[in-house]
Amino acid sequence: MPRDAARIVSWNINSIRVRVEQVCEWAKANDADVVLLQETKCGDADFPFDAFTEAGYEVAHHGTNHWNGVAIASRVGLEDVARGFDGAQAPPFDEPRLMAATCGGVRCWSVYVPNGRELWDPHYAFKLVWLERLRHELISTGSTDLASVVAGDFNVAPTDDDIYMPSRWKRRTHASEPERAGIKALVDLGLRDVTREHLPEPGVYTWWNYRPGQFEKDHGLRIDLALCSPSVADATHTVWIDRAARGATRPSDHAPLVIDLTTSA
DNA sequence: ATGACCGGTCGTACCGGA
């Protein structure tokens, strides 16, 4: 299948209802072919489908209530949409944190990994199991053999280089070894962290706390990742993070993560 | 300064985020 998705974006937008105009305008202005969204924070009935249609995008959403929620918008086709883990899932694995669609020849996954809260919290154990469950999902769907992008808010900083002040995160979720092992297990499937490959220096962040001064002082984390199968990683010529979007009026606390591909169409 | 935000909710305090 020819691949014509040239620009794929992942963005945790922290409520689509608050930021739908911002997202659609950004996508149009930046020529995004595919936009993988996380934290839409609404049910399907409240999702602003029309705004995406007017902006020239097909869009599919997977959300149930005011927590979580993921979506995929595409202007290069949106086929074989899959919502959540395959098959019926018992709570909390039924939370809307995962979806996939084939867009312009690329199997695209929008991923929102559970936060974990604290190392002693049951949600942290859930996070670790969820990452393992994702690994199995990617194996069972053959995604590592396809042209695929598994991107989203992983809520894990893979290394200390991905944290503005590692000492402050020593005993906190997002930086613990078991979480990092969960990410490494995905990488060991053959998926490549293309941000790290193209922006190898420390201090490359995708999230900054809303608290005053945090963005201005660049106190951020790199927790949004694009894990790409070999053919997509090889085709990736540029990776960039649009910090300007984080500095916008009433922004999400995450910036868009953009991967640019050489097309083969 | 153990401070500071933001989105959402049958809300006007609290939960969850990271």
Looking at the structure of chain A, the number of domains it has is 1
Q: What is the pLDDT of residues A5-27, one digit of tens each?
A: 999 999 999 999 999 999 999 99
Give me the CA A43–C1' B2 separation in Å, rounded.
37
> DSSP string spanning chain A?
------EEEEEE-S-HHHHHHHHHHHHHHTT-SEEEEE---S-GGG--HHHHHHHT-EEEEE--SSS--EEEEESS--EEEEESSSS---TTTTSS-EEEEEETTEEEEEEE-----STTSHHHHHHHHHHHHHHHHHHHTTTTTSSEEEEEE----SSGGGBSSGGGGTTSTTS-HHHHHHHHHHHTTT-EEHHHHH--SS---SEE-SSTTTTTTT-EE--EEEEE-HHHHHHEEEEEE-HHHHTSSS--SB--EEEEE----
* Closest residue, CA to C1' of B7: A15
pTM (predicted TM-score) = 0.96
Q: What is the pLDDT of residues A175-221, one digit of tens each?
A: 999 999 999 999 999 999 999 999 999 999 999 999 999 999 999 99
- Near strand B (CB < 7 A), which residues? A 12, 14-15, 17-18, 39, 41-42, 65-67, 114-115, 117-118, 123, 153, 155, 174, 207, 209-213, 221, 223, 250, 253-254
**Domain at A64, CATH number:** 3.60.10.10
Nucleic acid strand B: bases within 7 A of protein CB: 4-9, 16-18
Q: Which nucleotide is nearest to A173 (CA to C1')?
A: B18
